[in-house]
Structure 1
Amino acid sequence: MFERFSREARDVVIRAQDEANSLGHDWIGTEHLLLAALHHPEQPGAATLVRLGITTTSCRAAVAGVVPGAREDLGPEDAEALRALGIDLEAVRRRAEESFGAGALDAAPDSGRTKRGRGRGKGEGTLTRHVPFAARAKKVLKQALREALTRKDRGIGVEHVVLGVLRSEDNISLALFARLGIEPEVVRELVLDDLRTAA
């Protein structure tokens, strides 16, 4: 199926993994695909979203609001709870850094599941974790193929991925749409209108 994806649509799939990693998520979901599509604001589908005021920044904030990061640092409440048990988090951090160097307790990628990144703003040669696709994201990619076939398009572009995401009815997607202030069926029609106008 991926041989039918345009260069930009393939980049959406790759960037979705980057977005999941940057948000500390252990899966690639519909939310990451939508966020990755917005990295191509000139492409059909994404351009419609941008025209509606949805940006990578607003989408990332909405995603973070719907699905908090899995690798968040311990906060002051956590430190206080540990202190009540006789554990001084700052003392532990200080000793670890004295023994193993600065940042010794910072989250590190799982060495068994890492690969060299493509240098997208993170610098060449950065390590990124391999993140699997959630079933709902796989469904969106299959839906993107159906969208292309229905429209009799030769390949799968960013617009088909966006249309697939907008068909998602899982709780996370619906919560994301609500945070972004969009009604998916209305936006689908706007994307289709834009495609008809461009044809």
Structure 2
Amino acid sequence: MFERFHQDARQAVVLAQAEARLLDDEHIGTEHVLLGLLRQPDSVAGRVLVGHGLDHDRVADRIGRLRTTGRRADELDAAALESIGIDLDSVREKVEATFGPGALDRAPRARRRRFGGHIPFTKRAKKVLELSLREAVNLRHDHIGTGHILLGMIREGQGLAARVLVDLDVDLQELRTATRAAMT
């Protein structure tokens, strides 16, 4: 499938991987793909997204806020465990005494990934890329560009990228129409 990707679409995938590395993530999700598209404001998808009031920093901020909400849930889980007598600090101390300091930290894996190595796509991100191919076929295009990736993301509609777009008051149907128009 990647052989059909236009240079700007390949670059979007490379940039998505870079975004995942910057965030020390263990996967490339739809949010990383969206950020990769926004890193190319002169591409079809970049122009359409900017035309809808989006930019990389605004979307990255929204992603960060949504992730912070997830961390808040982790804090609540820690409080719930403490209420039944499980002290996470003493669990950490025992693990580190056995396996060494920082044994529960993600940093060693993230450091290795910064210098190379494969970061897998999530199922939803893979689906976005597959749908981008279907969008290209439906439009009778012989290549996949950033516009097709954006159309695939809109069509998938369930990933963090779609949630971010909706949270930022982007009408997905309107975005789809604008993207298709920009590709003709």
List per-residue Cα deviations over 1:86-106 (Å, max 9, x = no partner).
xx9xxx9xxxxxxxxxxxx98
Match of 1:152 among 140, 144, 159: 140
Q: In structure 2, what is the Cα distance between the partners aligned to 1:42 and 1:69?
A: 32
Asked if residue 143 in structure 1 is aligned to residue 142 in structure 2, the reply is: no
Higher helix share: 2
Q: In structure 2, what is the Cα distance between the partners aligned to 1:179 and 1:22?
A: 23
Q: Which residue of 1 aligns with 2:157?
A: 169
CA gap of 1:2–1:24, structure 2 versus 1, over 3 A, is: same
Q: Which residue of 1 aligns with 2:28?
A: 28
Q: Which residue of 2 aligns with 1:63?
A: 63
Tell me if the contact between 1:110 and 1:129 (Cα under 8 Å) persists in the aligned partners.
no
Tell me how far 1:127 sits from its aligned partner.
Answer: 5.0
Tell me if the contact between 1:44 and 1:195 (Cα under 8 Å) persists in the aligned partners.
yes
Tell me if the contact between 2:28 and 2:119 (Cα under 8 Å) persists in the aligned partners.
no
Tell me if the contact between 2:31 and 2:159 (Cα under 8 Å) persists in the aligned partners.
no
Q: Which residue of 1 aligns with 2:86?
A: none
Q: Which residue of 2 aligns with 1:108?
A: 107
Q: TM-score scaled by structure 1?
A: 0.68
Tell me how far 1:133 sits from its aligned partner.
Answer: 3.0
Tell me if the contact between 1:29 and 1:137 (Cα under 8 Å) persists in the aligned partners.
yes
Superposition map of 1:1-199 within 5 A = 1-68=1-68, 108-110=107-109, 126-127=115-116, 130-134=119-123, 136-170=124-158, 172-196=160-184
Tell me if the contact between 1:144 and 1:156 (Cα under 8 Å) persists in the aligned partners.
yes
Tell me how far 1:116 sits from its aligned partner.
Answer: 7.4
Q: TM-score scaled by structure 2?
A: 0.73
List per-residue Cα deviations over 1:43-62 (Å, max 9, x = no partner).
11221111222111111112
Q: In structure 2, what is the Cα distance between the partners aligned to 1:25 and 1:116?
A: 9
Tell me how far 1:178 sits from its aligned partner.
Answer: 2.3
Q: Which runs of 5+ in 2 are unaligned?
A: 83-88, 94-103
Q: Which residue of 1 aligns with 2:85?
A: none
Tell me if the contact between 1:40 and 1:46 (Cα under 8 Å) persists in the aligned partners.
yes
Over the matched positions of the two proteins, sequence identity in percent amounts to 32
List per-residue Cα deviations over 1:15-46 (Å, max 9, x = no partner).
11221222233221111111101111111122
Two-structure CA RMSD over aligned residues (Å): 3.5
Q: What is the count of residue pairs matched by the alignment?
A: 169
AA of the residue aligned to 1:44:
V
Q: Which runs of 5+ in 1 are unaligned?
A: 82-87, 93-104, 118-125
